[in-house]
Structure 1
Amino acid sequence: MTNLEMDEQPVLPLEITDIIIDHLCHDVQALGNCGIVCSEWLIRSRHHLFSTVQLWPWRVRSFFSLAASKDCTFANHINRIEIDDRRVRTREHSGKESRFKGIRGETLAEEVLFRDTMSQTDIPCLAQVKSMQVRNVDWTTLSPTQRVVLRGHLAKFHKLDRLEFQNVTFHDLREVVRVVNSFPSLCHLTANITFTKYIEHAISSAKSLSLSTNLRSIELGTEDGIPVVLTCVERWDRPERLVRLRLEHIKFNHLQYIQPTLRKLGKYLREISLAFVKVDHDFIDLLDFSHLSDLRRLESPFLASIEIKCRMECEADAESIDWSRLERVLLALHFFGLEIVQFIGEAHAGSPLESDLVERWVYGGMPDLRERGVLGVRVAKEEVETLSLEDAPAKD
């Protein structure tokens, strides 16, 4: 073997270098450096760098220009795209100076918002996208004709199985249903949405709508989204399809919509996550599945896991929970196959609340569950989103 041939042999097996690159999956600079080492490292680095692409308005034109190039090296690695109409860069002129400002000022010409971004769906690299997040978009600004055209563009994402709406505004649920039903492979929907119409009207119209029964997972967390979407889901003809339900920011007035939905879906759901704005005794009633008298076999596909999140800042919050009653309900579910109960104490970012304190409250209140190895406890601090000047406009 010649010296040249020896030099071409990798020092480490490719399996090892792949593991090392995978470990750097969140370090953009390191991944960029790995990509210039050799072609094998380039492929693995591109997989992480471009698996998720954030199409902020000021990046869209240059991104699609590069993606359309024959020398593009990332086209086959895009799995998820994120779009946020508030990530614009605007210019405010003050004499000879100009600086980036928030929503105010003159929007730069190269900014491309969600609607026009979706008009680029003929770009081949988007054909394999499986996940899309749409954030801070006002759908009501579109005319009926524009909405039809937009749905046509969205329908080209044939492989999309996960759609997330975050702070998106609609007139009512009708347009949401049209969009969701245009994706033949969609399995997950996050609908953190608001409606311009009165909530009573939105709920009333939702009763006659049919949301795709292909959905297997739904996540809701807004004042409008929870009652309206659940009203639609409760009337499903095939409730057995839905196996995962996650509800955030639950308030007392939401219980009247959550309870009938769980009564219908309860014997099919495998995972439930409930996060409450305020601890209240009534939330325990949501977990009471004693009405499921048609359960005949212990191996029935019943709940596998429950996640409960409550605001806990002090001992008074812990004392407000009827732990013994909650434990009785959870033990009954455990009898029917419940494997994991995850209790999360939620606190604000600056709270002194520590995990060991919450563990003492929860484990002390539900000792039987702990002994059975079913109960897990942790603290979740609210994160304050920080944006770089490159990603978001500065504020006064």
Structure 2
Amino acid sequence: MSTERVVRARVPSEICDMIIDYLHGSTETLSTCALVCKAWLPAARMHRFETLHIPRSQSRRPALALLCDNTSNILPCIRHLSLEDGWKGWKRNDPSWLDDALPRMRLRELNNLRSLTIHSLSWRALSTRARGCLLSVLPRVTSLSLPLLEGDFSLGVFEILCAATSLETLALLRPRMTDTMDQTSFLARFPAAPILRTLKRMQVDASSVLLNPIRWVNPDLLMTDLELHDVLETSAVDAASFLASCGKGVIHLSLRFNHLMFSSPEGVFIRSGGLSRNPSLLTLISLLHTRSSYPSSTKSPLHDCVRSFSI
């Protein structure tokens, strides 16, 4: 009696990993792959939980449990974390859910975290304990985005920046902060803050109250890529001063001018020094945003400035 030997072809694990890598954008497919066999689980889980987004709505509970539950084993997979704080609907007085959640999150175990985004963060709404938990995770973060900052928060921003000692990319866009600071009192609070020493790329609103304090505390920024948004006629002088403080470091620059009525922020920008202190500039993108009947055929004053520097 003859017996037939069944030969099963084995696909090399490297090829399986390449296939799963190709599926990194489909969370549903990755979840299915993780259930096929143990060999597929590590690669599928790594891509499935590489980015974790926790919204401000009640639908955040399943995602929040992944960070808080003691049995969760996906923490080493998380490289990009996004948290949505802020108002619920149109109610301004709702408490921050982060104040309760941050102390419960296993943030110290996010050893591979590299990118952090927090929408509509209100520093005042956080307790001392919640702030400490947030600051503890920042030393390993290389990319930080804080859009739509809320309230009187300028000093809180610099507490965050002081903790983010490995930061390479920073975005501070569309802040809704109302506080103002003078240089003397600010430097008394942060006399020699070692912030943004490793920074390479920055996005910031020129009209933000944060622009001058960043220049005060670190007058010799060495970033190579800079995007200045919302350059108004009233903020063009601060934008030029900030760009001058970056000196020879800036190689790629994006300027987004905002014309209100018949204002000319570009003219103010050039008269305030413009690009005269940035000899290393290789790439310049100048964008116009017009909110009125500003003549579209009018030549931007910045065009002559660009040609004179042969960019």
Residue correspondence of structure 1 range 358-373 to structure 2 within 5 A? none
Equivalent position SS for 2:170: strand
Letter in 2 for 1:78: I
Contact 1:274–1:309 (8 Å) recurs in 2:
yes
Aligned to 2:253: 272
Contact 2:206–2:239 (8 Å) recurs in 1:
no
Matched, 1:140 2:113: no
Q: Structure 2, unaligned stretches of length 5 or more?
A: none
C-alpha displacement at 1:221, in angstroms? Answer: 2.6
Aligned to 1:289: 275
Identify if the C-alpha distance between structure 1 residues 77 and 230 changes in structure 2 by more than 3 Å, giving closer, same or farther: same
CA distance in structure 2 between the partners assigned to 1:215 and 1:21 by the alignment: 34
Identity over the aligned pairs, expressed in percent? 17
C-alpha displacement at 1:255, in angstroms? Answer: 0.4
Matched, 1:54 2:56: no
Contact 2:96–2:125 (8 Å) recurs in 1:
no
Contact 1:168–1:194 (8 Å) recurs in 2:
yes
Residue correspondence of structure 1 range 299-338 to structure 2 within 5 A? 302-311=280-289, 318-322=296-300, 326-334=302-310
Residues 245-288 of structure 1: per-residue CA shift (max 9 Å, x gap): 22222211110101112122131212222122239442772884
Aligned to 1:196: 178
Letter in 2 for 1:119: P
Identify if the C-alpha distance between structure 1 residues 78 and 49 changes in structure 2 by more than 3 Å, giving closer, same or farther: same
TM-score, length basis structure 2: 0.76
Equivalent position SS for 1:249: strand
CA distance in structure 2 between the partners assigned to 1:118 and 1:274 by the alignment: 36
Letter in 1 for 2:298: S
Contact 2:228–2:256 (8 Å) recurs in 1:
yes
1:257 corresponds to which of 226, 238, 242: 238
Equivalent position SS for 2:253: strand
CA distance in structure 1 between the partners assigned to 2:224 and 2:298 by the alignment: 31
1:179 corresponds to which of 160, 172, 197: 160
Identify if the C-alpha distance between structure 1 residues 135 and 205 changes in structure 2 by more than 3 Å, giving closer, same or farther: farther
Matched, 1:220 2:204: yes
Equivalent position SS for 1:174: helix
CA distance in structure 2 between the partners assigned to 1:25 and 1:270 by the alignment: 33
Identify if the C-alpha distance between structure 1 residues 236 and 289 changes in structure 2 by more than 3 Å, giving closer, same or farther: same
Letter in 1 for 2:136: K
2:212 corresponds to which of 231, 253, 271: 231
CA distance in structure 2 between the partners assigned to 1:267 and 1:168 by the alignment: 30
Contact 1:130–1:161 (8 Å) recurs in 2:
yes
CA distance in structure 1 between the partners assigned to 2:297 and 2:70 by the alignment: 64
More off after superposition, 78-87 vs 21-30: 21-30
RMSD, matched Cα: 3.8
Contact 1:166–1:191 (8 Å) recurs in 2:
yes
CA distance in structure 2 between the partners assigned to 1:313 and 1:123 by the alignment: 43
Equivalent position SS for 2:249: coil
CA distance in structure 2 between the partners assigned to 1:180 and 1:162 by the alignment: 11
Contact 2:231–2:255 (8 Å) recurs in 1:
yes
Q: How many residues align?
A: 296
Identify if the C-alpha distance between structure 1 residues 125 and 207 changes in structure 2 by more than 3 Å, giving closer, same or farther: closer
CA distance in structure 2 between the partners assigned to 1:86 and 1:156 by the alignment: 21
CA distance in structure 1 between the partners assigned to 2:16 and 2:136 by the alignment: 36
CA distance in structure 1 between the partners assigned to 2:144 and 2:124 by the alignment: 19
CA distance in structure 1 between the partners assigned to 2:47 and 2:273 by the alignment: 39
Identify if the C-alpha distance between structure 1 residues 86 and 25 changes in structure 2 by more than 3 Å, giving closer, same or farther: farther
C-alpha displacement at 1:291, in angstroms? Answer: 5.0
Equivalent position SS for 1:195: coil
Identify if the C-alpha distance between structure 1 residues 83 and 316 changes in structure 2 by more than 3 Å, giving closer, same or farther: same
CA distance in structure 2 between the partners assigned to 1:176 and 1:282 by the alignment: 31
CA distance in structure 2 between the partners assigned to 1:287 and 1:309 by the alignment: 19
Aligned to 1:153: 133
Contact 1:164–1:191 (8 Å) recurs in 2:
yes
Aligned to 2:6: 3
Contact 1:67–1:125 (8 Å) recurs in 2:
no
Residue correspondence of structure 1 range 89-108 to structure 2 within 5 A? 102-103=89-90
Contact 1:127–1:156 (8 Å) recurs in 2:
no
C-alpha displacement at 1:31, in angstroms? Answer: 2.5
